[in-house]
Structure 1
C-alpha cells in the first residue's frame, strides 16, 4: 500500500463513482479499477461494494478512508517541513494552548516570533490542560500553556501570569455600576460555569470562592469555553467569574472587581523536562513580552 493507492481510494470513496474519480485523477477508469482491486487484495478486505448503478463503502472502507486522509495530511506536512529545511528553514514549533491564551498575548507572540525567525513555522493546537500534558509526554507538542494543576512525572511548569477574577455581569444588571462588590451579593443569581472535566482546577476554585462567601452557586448553564460564557452573560443568561483580561476583552459585559481577595487565575508554561527544544524557550521569551498588564504584580517571572 502506497500513497498513490491511498489517493486513488480517497477519490473513489468521496465521489462514489469510478468515472468521476478517474476524471478527477486524470487517469483511465480501467486503470483506477485495477489499482483499487489490487489495494483490496493487498489488505485482504473488501473496501467497496460495486453494482451497475452505485458504489458504496464497506465498514472497512470507511475506516481506511479516515486513516488515509490522516496519513496523506501527515505526508504533506513531512514534505513541507523537509522542503523548508532544504531551503534553510529552522523547522516547526508545535504549541498547545488553552483558549484563554488568545486574549493573553498568544497571537501577537506567534506573529513576532515568526518575524524574528523567518524559517520557523509555529503550529497552534488548542487543548485543555490535561490534554496538553498527555501530548507533551507523547512528543506531540513542544510547549504548552495551561491552567494551574497537578503535573505528571517528566513535566515541569513555569508560572507566567496571575490575575484576579472579576464578576462578569450583563450591562443592565443591578450591580453593574458598583466599584466593587461582595461575592455574597450574588447568592440568588444564576451562574454560568464550565463542566468540571473541562478544567477541574478552575471549576473547583470558583466553587470554593462562592462557598467562602457563604453560599453555593446556582449553576444554571454550563459552557466549555470562556468566550461562550462571556457571550451568555452578555445575553443576560446569568453571571460568571472570569479572569480580568478575558472579562475586559469581551464586548457587551461589565467586569466588577470583588471585595474578596485571594482567588487568582494562573497560566503556566509546560515543558518536557528532557526534550524541550531551544525554540520553545525562545517562543516563551517572546510571549512574556505580550502578556496583559503593565504592572509587575500581574506577571510572574519564570
Structure 2
C-alpha cells in the first residue's frame, strides 16, 4: 500500500474538501482526486461519497480510517527503527493521552530515561484512552504512561509517581454547595475519576466544556470562569496568583501514574532493565 495514498485519504477526510486537502499537501486538486481513485481501486470499493458541496466517508471509508492511521504510524516507527545510527542502538516508543503528556512528571521521566540510556532514541505518541490497549497489543508503542492501566493478560506495570486533582474555581470563598451555580469544566481522566466525580452532587450537570487536555480547561476557567478538577501542579501557580481558588471542603482526588508494557513485547527485557536501573537511581 502506497503511504502517500493513505496520507491523502486521511487529509481529505479531515478537511472534507479536495481543494483544501490539496493545499495542505502541496498538491494539485487533480492529483488528490487521482490518489483517492487509486486507493479505491486498490481497496475495491469507494471510500467517499461525492455530492456537490457534501463530501462524506462511505461505510467502507469509515472502517478504513483506523487502519490507515495505524499503517502510517507503524510505517513511521519502522523507518525510525531501521534508520538508527551507530549512536542509537534502540528506540523506545512511549504512548500516553494528551492529559498525561501535559504533566511535568512525564517530561521528567523521559529525561531520566535519556540520562540512563543515552544510546536509546525516544519516540512519543499521543493516544486516546480507548487506543491504549490496542496500541500495546499491536506494538504501535512499546510502553504507555497512564493513570488507569488496561486490564490485559501479560501486563507489566511500574508506579512512576503520584499526583492530585484539585477542585478549583474562578470565584473566591466557594464551597461544594455554592459552586453548583458555576459553569462546570470536566477533564476526562477515565472511569475511576468519573465514578468519584459522580458522587459529588453539586457537580452533576452537563459540563460547559468537556476536555481531554488540561490547557483548554485551564484557559476556560481563567477567562470565562467556572469550576472543575485540575492537576495540582497545573493549578498551583494560579492559586498562588489568586486567579483560581480551591473549593472549600472539596475532596482532593489522589491518582498514580504508571509505566505499562507487555511481557510478550520483544523489548521486554530492555524495558525491565530500564525500570530496574531507574529504581536504583531513585
Decide: shared fold, TM above 0.5. Answer: yes
What is the CA–CA distance in structure 2 between the aligned matches of 1:216 and 1:70, rounded to whole Å?
Answer: 37
Assess if the C-alpha contact under 8 Å between 1:94 and 1:123 holds in 2.
Answer: yes
Instruction: Name the count of aligned residue pairs.
Output: 242
Give 1:148's aligned residue.
148
**Which aligned pairs between 1:160-239 and structure 2 lie closer than 5 A?**
160-170=160-170, 173-175=171-173, 182-194=175-187, 199-208=190-199, 210-211=200-201, 215-224=202-211, 225-239=213-227
Q: By how many angstroms is 1:191 displaced?
A: 1.5
How far the C-alpha of 1:123 sits from its partner, in A, is 0.9
1:151 deviates by: 1.6
Match of 1:242 in 2: 230
TM-score in terms of structure 1 length: 0.60
Greater gyration radius = 1
Correspondence for 2:130: 130
Q: How does 1:69-84 map to 2 (within 5 A)?
A: 77-84=77-84
1:15 to 20, 28, 34: 28
Cα distance, 1:90–1:194 mapped onto 2, change above 3 Å = same
Paired residue for 1:272?
262
1:103 aligns with 2:94: no
What secondary structure does 1:190 align onto?
coil
Q: Which runs of 5+ in 1 are unaligned?
A: 19-35, 48-58, 176-180, 291-300
Structure 1 Cα separation of the partners of residues 233 and 118 of structure 2 = 30
**C-alpha contact (below 8 Å) 2:187/2:230 kept by paired residues:** no
In the aligned structure 2, how far is the partner of 1:289 from the partner of 1:103? 23
> What is the DSSP-based 3-state SS (H/G/I as helix, E as strand, rest coil) of the residue aligned with 1:84?
coil
Q: Secondary structure at the match of 1:105?
A: helix
Per-residue deviation at 1:240? 0.8
CA distance in 1, matches of 2:26, 2:67: 13
Deviates more, 1:125-134 or 1:250-259: 250-259
Distance 1:262 1:67 in 2: 40
Q: Is the 8 A contact 1:100 1:226 kept in 2?
A: no
TM-score, normalised on structure 2? 0.63
SS in 2 for 1:218: coil
Partner secondary structure for residue 81 of structure 1? helix
